[in-house]
Amino acid sequence: MGNSALVKGALLCAVSTCVAACYSESDRSSSRSPATPVTQRSPQPSDADTRSNAVEIDPEALLTIAEKTDFTATSTLDQTVAFLKQLLPHLPEMKLSSFGTSAEGREMPLVIISKERAFTPEKARATGKPILLIQNGIHAGEIDGKDACLMMLRDLVLGKHRWILDVATLLIVPIYNVDGHERISPYNRPNQDGPLDGMGFRTTTQGLDLNRDHIKLVSPEARALVRLFNKWLPNLHVDNHVTDGCDHDWVLTYAWCEAPQLAPPIHEWIANHMPAVMSALEKRGHQNGPYVWLNDSNDPEKGFKTGVASPRLSTAYFALRNRPSILIEMHAYKPYKQRVMANRDFLIELIREIGASPRHLIDAVQRADAIKTTLGKPGAVPSDMVLSYEIGKVTEPLSFPIYKSHLAPSIVTGKPMIRYERGLVDEKEVPWSHGILAQAAVPRPRGYLLLRGWPQIEARLEAHGITVLQLTEPVEVSVETMRIKNPRYEKDTYQGEIRVQVDVARTQETRQFTAGTLWIPADQPDFEVAAQLLEPEAPDSLVQWGKLRSILEIKTYVSPQVLEARAAELIKDPEIAQAWKQALKDKVFAKDQRARHRWWYRRTKYWDTGVGLLPAMRVMENPTFTTRPWQPHR
């Protein structure tokens, strides 16, 4: 159900003509992976055993922990690794390695699947096949994807779905949040039906949600995942989750970014291919539909929306990096076995669809990278750069297999609360809101000049794989500076941070820059990742995450006696006198001794002009200075 609506919905966001105009055939060669011709769709593969000289293996010997327990349990980290090692002798196309170390010191396992034994990024790219990254357990209690992947890998050993090896190189992260995964309890997910013997915990040991850490990269786990991406540059990303919310008949829900948040070629690829995946999944008996966020939690007939993600979340982060990122949310109220089977079958059907025209995916990523690079080239037509998005105005009717429900008083709140009659479908046509609109945008600069001495910025630029250069000699450059003021701090911490909202003043200035100043050019595919870090209006900027709070602090002091003498001279200026008179009309200000002191202090030559000045400065004209490769401090 819902697949006809999906086809319509995926095509509703119009491709931005100004962005598409920046792409030409010659741009394809500037992509990060080698150009390959687009081919016709291949015939649908067979699931028959295609192994040569296949050795008979007892299937019972290769059951997962979930299967052995009839899905009442899931494997621990050690059991998962042991199972994967058990497969290795029978699957030479598989390599088991690690892509990082967790905060507690656990190895983070990575499975590489390649028919050609192309177990390095260079060799994998040389095969001409797409590289797919399948990520499980970012929230370790939502572990359906791990067991789905283990079963899929085991089936390869037993000769099933061997055509997968012909389609792509697979990077499978069986467990991302390995520390949370080992905090096992049957009480970690109160809204989830199994595994009944227990599952892992949502966050890391430090209480960090890894799906809120893709931009700020506070955790070693997130840094490891981004490093993995930078190394392999996969063509597609899947993030397997489990969700609760309202009760309905869909076992699997899905979401992905749309244009303009998604580069037009990636938007087109999703629109042309994902409906077929979801239709095939339904034919396998797995009901599915868009991710559900009810407009009114007590009235499903008012419809739902599929919202907008910020780049702290995986779906938007990998979209920012010009990749299709498919968010899968299994329905928590369905039994664990049903969820795992549906999750496994989704992955198989996704790979099957990619295999029908693998070059389409590679080409879409190449074109998206080329578009972003072209937009930032010296001499490019001026364009805007979107910093944040909001849900669009697209609303269409959708057949929603909600379960029958009624309202009854809540013991907890005393207010009416919806009660579902699980299994009794009461299908309704409801409004589904989706689509994406630009919310905040700024003119795209030719790049940023970054003053040295800000390791918290430099470390993140390096971790995200951003191209950074250095000035070879002192220069004078006209730049747009950004000054922040009027900080408004959140009352409660979020992800261990105190977030802050600020006002921003932008001014065009001519400033001197020393040799060694960092230069972040805009003509690179991932430039907008740098923008999300450096532009203070961006929702995941280092400013809003409170990582640059020291900029707002006043470090120098002038005594009342000294300031009084200076004020006596300054007030002789008619303009200052008039401004002071006007300021005193504000009764709150007039009673605030500190505010009055600062008002006069700002007008003296002693005031520190660096207060509020961000170290990243926007270069709006074509750069003329010379640069060399950056050598980060170690």
The model's pLDDT over 506-524, given as tens digits with 9 standing for 90+, comes to: 999 999 999 999 999 999 9
Q: Is 405 helix (H, G, I), strand (E, B) or coil?
A: strand
**Strand-pair category, 107-113 with 169-173:** antiparallel
| Placement of tokens 């390599």 in the chain | 95
Whole-number Å distance between alpha carbons of 537 and 543 = 8
CA distance 360 to 134: 19
All structural domains of the chain, each given as residue ranges with its CATH number in brackets, are 3-375 (3.40.630.10), 444-554+610-629 (no CATH), 560-601 (no CATH)
Decide the pairing of beta strands 447-450 and 616-619. Answer: antiparallel
Q: What is the pLDDT of residue 392?
A: 85
Pair 500, 508: CB distance under 8 Å: no
Mean pLDDT over the full length of the chain: 92
For residues 98-105, give the mean pLDDT. Answer: 98
Distance CA 146, CA 151 (A): 9
Q: Grade residue 38 by pLDDT with cuts at 50, 70 and 90.
A: very low
The predicted pLDDT at position 393 comes to: 81
- Please give the backbone phi and psi of residue 242, each rounded to the nearest 5 degrees, phi first: -135, 140
**Residue-level pLDDT at 54:** 52
pLDDT for 34 beyond 90:
no
Mean pLDDT of 123-133: 98
How far apart, in Å, are the Cα atoms of 238 and each of 137, 354, 359, 407, 548? 12, 13, 18, 37, 33
Phi first, then psi: what are they for 101, rounded to 5°? -125, 135
- Crossing angle of helices 336-356 and 144-157, rounded to 10°: 60
Cβ neighbors of 349 (< 8 A, separation 6 or more) are: 277, 280, 281, 284
What per-residue confidence (pLDDT) applies to 56? Answer: 76
Write out pLDDT tens, residues 524-566: 999 999 999 999 999 999 999 999 999 999 989 999 999 999 9
Backbone torsion region of residue 53, taken as left when φ is above 0, otherwise alpha when ψ lies between -120 and 50, otherwise beta = left
**What confidence tens digit (pLDDT) does each residue in 250-265 have?**
999 999 999 999 999 9
Give the model's pLDDT for residue 8. 34
Checking if the pLDDT of 18 tops 80, the result is no
Q: Strands across the sheet with 428-443, in order?
A: 293-294, 304-305, 428-443, 384-400
For residue 96, how many other CB atoms are within 10 A of its CB? 16
Cα distance between residue 572 and residue 421, in whole Å: 78
Distance CA 229, CA 476 (A): 37
Mean per-residue pLDDT for 161-185?
Answer: 98
pLDDT for res 346: 98
Q: In sequence order, what are the residues at sequence separation of 6 or more whose Cβ sits closer than 8 angstroms to the Cβ of residue 87?
A: 62, 94, 153, 154, 157
Of residues 401, 455, 466, the one with CA closest to residue 428: 401
CA separation for the pair 519, 468 (Å, rounded)? 6
Residue 341 CB contacts under 8 Å (≥ 6 apart), including other chains? 148, 286
pLDDT band at 629 (very low <50, low <70, confident <90, very high): very high
Q: Does residue 625 surpass a pLDDT of 50? A: yes
- C-beta neighbour count of 474 within 10 angstroms: 12
Per-residue pLDDT at 224 exceeds 60 = yes
pLDDT recorded at residue 55 = 59
pLDDT class of 50 with cuts at 50, 70, 90: low
H helix intervals, 158-184: 164-167, 178-181
What torsion do the CA atoms of 65, 70, 74, 80 make, to the nearest 10 degrees?
Answer: 20
For residue 388, give both structure tokens.
């944040």
Cis peptide before 195 (omega within 30 of 0): yes
Q: In the β-sheet with 252-255, what is the strand arrangement from edge to edge? A: 94-101, 107-113, 169-173, 131-136, 236-243, 325-331, 252-255, 288-290
User: Helices 358-375 and 264-283 meet at what angle, rounded to 10?
Assistant: 150
Whole-angstrom distance, CA of residue 334 vs CA of residue 455: 47
Report d(CA 564, CA 566) in Å as an integer. 5
Q: How many CB atoms lie within 10 A of CB 539?
A: 18
Number of residues that make up the chain: 634
The proportion of the chain whose per-residue pLDDT surpasses 70, expressed as a percent, equals 91
Q: Has residue 14 got a pLDDT over 90?
A: no
390: confidence class by pLDDT, cuts 50, 70, 90: very high
Q: What is the largest CA-CA distance in the chain?
A: 98
